[in-house]
Amino acid sequence: MAKIIINHDKVKDPQKIVELCPFGAIDYINGYLSINSACKMCRLCLKKDTDGVFKYVESQRPQVDKSLWNGIAVYVDHLEGDIYPVTFELIGKAEELAAKTGQPVYCLMMGHNIADSAAELMHYGVDEVFIYDYKELEHFRIEPYTAVFEDFIKQVKPSSILVGGTTIGRSLAPRIAARFRTGLTADCTVLDIQPDTNLDQIRPAFGGNIMAHINTPDHRPQFATVRYKIFNAPEKKGTSSGNLRRCTIDAAKLKSNIKVLEINAKELETGIEDAEVIIVAGRGVKKAEDMEMIMELAKLLNAQVAGTRSLIETGWLDPKRQIGLSGRTVKPQLIITCGVSGAIQFVAGMNGSEHIVAINTDKQAPIFQNAHVGIVGDIYEIIPALIKNIKSGMEVKS
């Protein structure tokens, strides 16, 4: 890892040195200059420095024998054996990546009495399913789950591991990555792989202003988490294939300081993730009362109403209805955006929709680059007209 060091014997004016960094990453405390955690490694300090105060040092990069790591593994997230849909989506992506490099696809499933559920995975083209079936794994507790995950990696040595961006996945993946001192990219929107098995992990960054392309070339395994509805799930096959392997682990590693005293089932909710039609309100909606026309259009189309981050922050919609990387990811058959500009973070949460219709007064709005149908116009003219036409069509049918 590279670093920037300070040659203190060449410092003439400490305060001037502090002012070189626009990010405030240089401290001058008790007569001593230091670089703090705000450093972006942009090297502006080296470019502005004329006295040789700063020196950029490239340390020797660690090397990993990639031949020892093989396969793409998917963590199977489930509730009492009921496998979450995001797992099947990750299996589909894993198979796509594996086909490019000739690697096998593995699944890791842990829990109690999960053999039947694990067998279901064999209908999706997985090469091998590793199951850890213990009473201690009946409920999610971070210590035993982490121990099992670590044991699996040490035994199998998969090159890449995909984890669903669920509550459990987001708790488990970073802990495992830290144990193996390897990289983890959260909420990936694009995954690809190079011939040398380096995983290309792409996700929006800096508030959605850029798409970050992240690699972990010198460490294994490579970790990535992905949200629900980002990738497509493969079709279930009539016949099963692959192997089902039961794994064992030292019982002492399954001990936990957490005791599950009671389980209260949460009431099921129908969220925007499962909607087939969605109407999205954006910044183009001027006041709360104007949400009525959005609601009316949604009712006529039997659709769910959603919003962008800016609209959610006004308090006009429940945060659970926000679309984007800081909200929910959706993939409906039809999505109509009303006054939405189309920031990267928002688009990443809905660009898998089958049909995208965008309404915006700005013909240069980024949303039109992703829309299948673009309407340049005022939502206050177009939506009422659309509502009127739908009602007229319903009257003719009746």
Q: What is the pLDDT of residues 142-175, one digit of tens each?
A: 999 999 999 999 999 999 999 999 999 999 999 9
All structural domains of the chain with their residue ranges:
2-58, 66-254, 272-397
Q: 131 to each of 102, 118, 146, 191, 375, how far by Cα in Å? A: 23, 7, 14, 26, 51
pLDDT, position 208: 67
Please give the single-letter amino acid code of residue 271: G
Whether 139 contacts 262, CB under 8 Å:
no
SS3 for 366?
helix
Taking 70 as the pLDDT cut, the residues of the chain under it are 1, 207-208, 395-398
Helix, strand, coil shares of the chain as percentages rounded to 5? 35, 25, 45
Torsion sign (Cα): 113, 119, 120, 124: positive
pLDDT, position 204: 83
DSSP labels for 173-185? HHHHHHHTT--EE
Parallel, antiparallel or unpaired: strands 78-79 and 82-83: antiparallel
Architecture of domain 66-254: 3-Layer(aba) Sandwich (3.40)
Per-residue pLDDT tens over the stretch 84-114: 999 999 999 999 999 999 999 999 999 999 9
User: What pTM value is reported for the model?
Assistant: 0.81
Whether 101 contacts 195, CB under 8 Å:
yes
| Alpha carbon distance 225, 164 (integer Å) | 5
Torsion sign (Cα): 212, 217, 219, 224: positive
Of 3.40.50.10680, 3.30.70.20, 1.10.3720.10, 3.30.390.50, the CATH number of 2-58 is 3.30.70.20
pLDDT, position 396: 62
272-397 shares the fold of 2-58: no
SS3 for 314?
coil
Q: 263-272 in b/e burial notation, b at 16+ Cβ within 10 A?
A: eeeeeeeeeb
| Alpha carbon distance 341, 347 (integer Å) | 10
| Alpha carbon distance 91, 104 (integer Å) | 11
Architecture of domain 272-397: 3-Layer(aba) Sandwich (3.40)
CB-CB neighbours of 396 under 10 Å: 7
> In sequence order, what are the residues at sequence separation of 6 or more whose Cβ sits closer than 8 angstroms to the Cβ of residue 316?
281, 285, 288, 291, 307
Q: 91-125 in b/e burial notation, b at 16+ Cβ within 10 A?
A: bbbbbbbbeebebbbbbbbbbeebeebbeebbbbb
DSSP labels for 82-146? EE-HHHHHHHHHHHHHHHHHT--EEEEEEESS-HHHHHHGGGGT-SEEEEEE-GGGSS--HHHHH
Choose among 138, 203, 147: nearest CA to 175: 147
Which contiguous run of DSSP H or E holds residue 305? strand 304-307
Whether 196 contacts 60, CB under 8 Å:
no
| Alpha carbon distance 299, 279 (integer Å) | 10
| Alpha carbon distance 213, 211 (integer Å) | 6
Per-residue pLDDT tens over the stretch 355-377: 999 999 999 999 999 999 999 99
| Alpha carbon distance 354, 177 (integer Å) | 35
